[in-house]
Amino acid sequence: MTVRLYLYIIEIYMISFSEMEGFDWDSGNKGKNQLKHKVHWLECEEVFFHQALIVKEDTIHSKAESKYAVLGKTAKNRLLALVFTIRSKKIRIISARDMSRKERSIYEEKIKRNTGF
């Protein structure tokens, strides 16, 4: 199944979302974010379908594979911070939580500056 991600991406480094074929979840990660941060796995996926996203490479924690941090929102306007990697053309969510106050400020400023909203 090919998933088309139509996004307005404000900042992005070395990712072609048009080539992604969906999401890769293992049972541990699906439940971990729900238990630890009250973020359902479907909310994580929603972030990638809702405009706009801020995506940056996470060079600090990217030792064995490239990891990316994303700031975005769900269909219900919940502001989330995610960390993900890409494996075999699939997005693999590593962690998800509500944005911090600082992240919300950065997100709202960049959205306003780049979209006029």
Residue that wins the pLDDT comparison between 108 and 19: 108
- Distance of alpha carbon 88 from alpha carbon 93, whole angstroms: 13
- Using one digit for the tens of pLDDT, what is the confidence trace for 63-77? 788 899 999 999 999
Domains and CATH numbers, the chain: 9-115 (3.10.450.530)
Q: Residue 115 CA to chain centroid, in angstroms? A: 19
Written as six digits, the tokens of 24 are 């890769």
- What is the reported pLDDT for 60? 79
- What is the reported pLDDT for 23? 93
- What is the reported pLDDT for 62? 67
- What is the reported pLDDT for 56? 87
Across 1-117, where does the E strand assignment appear?
9-11, 53-57, 67-73, 79-87, 90-98
- Using one digit for the tens of pLDDT, what is the confidence trace for 1-27? 444 443 444 444 446 677 788 999 987
Reported pTM: 0.81
| Coil/strand/helix, residue 3 | coil
